[in-house]
Amino acid sequence: MKFISNNEDIEVIAYGYSHKPYLKEKDNIIYCNSGSVGRRRFKLPISYGTMSIHKDDINIKIYELFNNEIFFNKSFRKINII
């Protein structure tokens, strides 16, 4: 994955395509791929994610679809508080 340098207006990049759940913060940008709820690809889990944006934080959870196992549960402090 190619990371981008931060622009003050970007806090989260949510993307797909790889079908692999992923969550990482780099240079104050949160990169999130919730995986896929479609047909199983390779040996990857079938998963989905939720994002809760509050006044001063962002919480992201990524779950396995059938048993609700949590792969990621992380809160991040917002940079641009509106």
* Domains defined for the chain, CATH in brackets: 12-77 (3.60.21.10)
Q: Distance (Å, rounded) from C-alpha 49 to C-alpha 63?
A: 6
Q: Is residue 81 pLDDT above 80, yes or no?
A: no
Task: Determine the pLDDT at residue 5.
Answer: 61
Can you tell me the distance from the alpha carbon of 36 to that of 41, in angstroms, rounded to the nearest whole number?
9
Residue 75 has pLDDT above 60, yes or no: yes
Integer Cα distance of 2 and 24 in angstroms: 13
Instruction: Please enumerate in sequence order all residues whose Cβ is within 8 A of that of 67, keeping only pairs 6 or more positions apart, or say none.
Output: none
Residue 49 in this model has a pLDDT that exceeds 80: yes
Q: How confident is the model at residue 8 (pLDDT cuts 50, 70, 90)?
A: low
Query: Are the C-beta atoms of residues 61 and 69 closer than 8 Å to each other?
Result: no
